[in-house]
Structure 1
Amino acid sequence: MSVDVDEHEKRRELRSYIVGFAMAVGLTAIAFLVVVAGMASPTAYAVIGVAALAQVVVHFRFFLHISWQRSTRDDLQLILFTTLIITLMAGGTIWILANLHHRMM
């Protein structure tokens, strides 16, 4: 009985990895096609940005196994908080450097 359950679990996990890999390759291909097609800059940046965010979600869900389930919610909150802190630090640094650049001109 447990052998069948283990095999079923292994197949389900392998299927999850294959789906995640296919989605990651597809999203990467979209970004490359946007650049190769030579789309207008604002549109290209928007499409690449959306593809990048989708790529992050795909990696969280299919490779890091982070979802909205109770057991992984703490991990997701930790990752989101870390992302917030890094964004604030990088954004603040860019803001300060831009302000200094403006004052030096």
Structure 2
Amino acid sequence: MIELTERAAKHVTDYLNNRGHGEGIRVGIRTAGCSGLAYVLEFVDEPDSVDEKFESHGVNIFVDPKSMVYLDGLLMDYVTEGLNEGFKFTNPNQKGECGCGESFTV
């Protein structure tokens, strides 16, 4: 299961509304950084038939099967820290992350 906080769901909903179309967001991972894996977010206009689908606070979240192994239990928040803002990922599968926080290991 993947969940969004209310704040994250509002942010995604606002972006989808401004965009004018879309079924939700896709959350995935890719190989990157010094720790090995990084999160990837993209809008979904047409879901892939193999995607797993979750709903959180009215937002559809799609995850491909390969990424699901690493993302099961993920909680996404949208935070503002000083002048920076963005998604914060709380992943129970994560064992460590690189010093800059851009990538993680499982």
Superposition TM-score, scaled by structure 1 size: 0.25
Higher strand share: 2
Superposition TM-score, scaled by structure 2 size: 0.25
Higher helix share: 1
Larger relative contact order, structure 1 or 2 (CA cutoff 8 Å, min sep 6): 2
